Chain A
């Protein structure tokens, strides 16, 4: 049963041969461990890189595109915004609290590594059905972990999404997005330069936590529970207080101009940080493993080099700046140790003592550039044609439309009440709306620019299960419309691509299709993709999750003079639908709820119509013409109307929605708006001018929620369902 070492580290036989070829000799244990973590799926993107190249990444306002720690865009007034999204799915499945907490910690470091102060976090969370005990345990643990870490580290969690779907049983998705701001001239890149400069390790001591996290956890699927328990030591433990001090110390070092390059220690720990900074800068590095402060005695060099202990950064500094660096770190009680020096020649050498014996030696760039690149086989599922022919429109219509509508409702506030979403006093629109709106203040002077940033995170597994390509395009379109609903225009997109096992050709096909759908939509809307993260092997007990590309979209509001309308309508408002679409039910929440149906063909997306609608809505919002606005997405028109009624406490009297397909269909490019009757002519004129269809469908009023000929509900039934859907999670 003696497995070769490389296999137990997660490397294939071919990969082990390639390493031997690079080194011209067999690697020792330490070297093999370093390759194993860096060539893992998580770090090397070996199955996905080939496809990601098809995404559009350029625009005049893009300062840094994919490949660095975060994407950076110019948002005007001398301010640059850094943005990134990352998954922490596998750790969160094993240990929900710490898995989610360290996910927040990791994404923050990616942002302040670029020189930006993190100002907002968003979470996109997906769990199995809430009536399943383990899924509830995971959901509650993840939310507590984000709350516990995010609140204490002092970065507001301003929005996100929480989705429950059977497909995530055993494999939850925890995607965390972070936005940071910096003066545009302070951009820092993670690279080393200058022979003789020093590599200084900042932050926590290094322990045995998270060893092999990227290869053991993130790049393999889940099996039985016993094995999951064995993986628990591979989950890192977070310390938000250490991270808070680390943020302040690093930003102070950057302000003082003492740092030549800086890199966070995340997946693959010190191996990744030293080799990345060296290879990006075209230099080498000597790393003194003995100088790394440790949490416990007896750690082997390979453990020190691959540990994923949290709250650590690697800064490259000039020798004559070292004293000042140490003084700033001391002020913030941040541990700082010189652990390496920059060399010429591109070799990463691990030594015992800076001039001591060499324990391992390899070309730094080989850990990245020579990483395997796979064009894995892909083909559509065998029943693809058959599935497309099976439209949800053929499902039996509901016995009770009202009951099916109520089933779609659930108040998400139990999640975001646990997050500090107001810190920094920027949050004009917080969680629970279509998109979050933040005031844009200059990061150095605090001066208010009078403008705003908008942020949304969106994913839809049902649409992508039906058709990964069209579903992904629709997800991008929905994000664009979410921004329009707060008066913003899109600026940059980041993505977190959560898929199943890439060794299954159907999964690789889904992945490739999703990338193409995203590329197509981004091209159509003129949105550059500035960063992303790929999470594969989201599979448990042989079951791959639905393809779930999650999108973070950053937008800008040119004049932020009033609070955008939000979902709350007033008694007497006219209710209209802007835009129009088909009544196909395939991919809808209703079809999934009633029959577990995720097949058929998605309703068509017309980019031109969608762009015109988004422009119209953003303009109406900016000019204060709407009392309330909500895009139509999951749950269709019915859910959009009922959600608005629920949060307003004001009913709806409507007509012209003739059947369940019109009520629950999720065709894109539609927005529900509530308008003061006196302003209605102006809104109708604006719609006519832009060629957008407008339909009057009813009145916001009273204490009933009724649609002529279809349903009639007391508002108390909606309020009760809204409140109680997550009732035991909602308590307290």
Chain B
């Protein structure tokens, strides 16, 4: 059965079509969901895509967490449904407290759009379950607020429970412990700053992103 991936569109999202294209290309079925919907339908997984939901006004992700669909996303996540937040989606997941910590402005106080070398730190997540610890991935980043910060206790908890999913080879933004992506306790909610959908076609220079998305649609 083809896995159906719901991609939530907030006003200001802009990577939704890219995610659908990448999911479709690896045999899944991407479907757009509107932020004012209150049900997710029969999707098997949810992606909160990159962009500038609600213009990122006030603070990145701060308004999006109040969009009606977020209650359904939280319920879906609590039941173990795979939820992935990419870039702005990661920021929204932290604002919605589905993931701990926050994303702060890049160390250099400039927007960064460039390739990034990543290392798979944990395979206990819905994105990395098909990969091996230590795998190197080349996937681009594209953000102003990608500098992950959290308390000492949270960092210890992430480390102790194998919840740091991806780290940067060369830290581009000042993120704590080089963190590029983390997951929740059960590994079904993942947030990451790099954009896997931008590394999913041979003409784009890397197909490593497809390896992550394959994890998402491969089912349990």
Contact = CB atoms under 8 A, between A and B. Distances in A.
Interface of A: 147-148, 151-152, 154, 239-241, 244-245, 248, 332-333, 416-425, 427-428, 439, 446, 560, 562-563, 731-732
A421 B198 CA distance: 11
A19 B59 CA distance: 51
Contacts of B22: 425
A14 B209 CA distance: 65
From B15, B18, B113, B201, residue with most partner A Cβ within 10 Å: B113
Contacts of B56: 152, 241
Chain A to chain B: the 7 pairs with minimum beta-carbon distance, closest first: A732-B108, A241-B55, A154-B14, A152-B52, A418-B111, A732-B110, A425-B18
A244 B12 contact: yes
A151 B52 CA distance: 9
Nearest to A423: B14
B111 A422 contact: no
Interface residues of B, number: 35
B204 interface: yes
Nearest to A729: B110
Given A422-B113, A425-B21, 17 more contacts: A148-B111, A151-B52, A151-B142, A152-B52, A154-B14, A154-B52, A244-B12, A244-B52, A245-B11, A417-B113, A418-B110, A418-B111, A425-B22, A425-B201, A563-B203, A732-B108, A732-B110
B55 A420 contact: no
A428 B57 contact: no
A427 B51 CA distance: 17
Contacts of B57: 241
A422 B198 contact: yes
A425 B14 contact: no
B184 to A, nearest CB: 28
B114 A417 contact: yes
B203 A560 contact: yes
A731 B112 CA distance: 12
B1 interface: no
A425 B106 contact: no
A464 B12 CA distance: 42
A563 B205 contact: yes
Contact of A423 (B11, B15, B112, B201): B15
Nearest to B174: A732
A416 B106 CA distance: 16
B17 A446 contact: yes
Contact of A424 (B17, B109, B142, B200): B17
28 contacts: A151-B52, A151-B113, A151-B142, A152-B52, A152-B56, A239-B55, A241-B12, A241-B55, A241-B56, A244-B11, A245-B12, A332-B11, A416-B113, A418-B111, A419-B111, A420-B111, A420-B113, A420-B142, A421-B113, A422-B142, A422-B195, A423-B15, A425-B18, A446-B21, A731-B108, A732-B106, A732-B108, A732-B110
A421 B112 CA distance: 10
Contacts of A428: 203-204
Nearest to B197: A425
Contacts of B111: 147-148, 151, 417-420
Interface string B188-218: 0000000101101101110000000000000
From A151, A239, A562, A563, residue with most partner B Cβ within 10 Å: A151
Given A244-B14, A732-B109, A425 B198 contact: yes
From A147, A239, A424, A425, residue with most partner B Cβ within 10 Å: A425
A417 B203 contact: no
A240 B55 contact: yes
B198 A240 contact: no
Contacts of A148: 111
B46 to A, nearest CB: 20
Contacts of A240: 52, 55
A332 B10 CA distance: 10
Contacts of A245: 11-12
Contact of B140 (A248, A416, A422): A422
Interface in B106-159: 106-114, 140, 142, 144
Contacts of B106: 732
A446 B201 CA distance: 14
A526 to B, nearest CB: 28
B4 interface: no
A240 B15 CA distance: 16
A551 B147 CA distance: 39
B203 to A, nearest CB: 5
B39 interface: no
Contacts of A241: 11-12, 52, 54-57
B22 to A, nearest CB: 7
A416 B195 CA distance: 18
Nearest to A422: B198
Nearest to B107: A732
Contacts of B144: 151
A421 B11 CA distance: 21
B112 A418 contact: yes
A273 to B, nearest CB: 24
B142 to A, nearest CB: 5
A563 B202 CA distance: 9
A421 B205 CA distance: 14
A574 to B, nearest CB: 25
Contacts of B13: 154
Contacts of A424: 17-18
Interface string B44-76: 000000011011110000000000000000000
Contacts of A731: 108
A240 B11 CA distance: 11
A423 B18 contact: yes
Contacts of B108: 731-732
A424 B22 CA distance: 11
Nearest to B9: A248
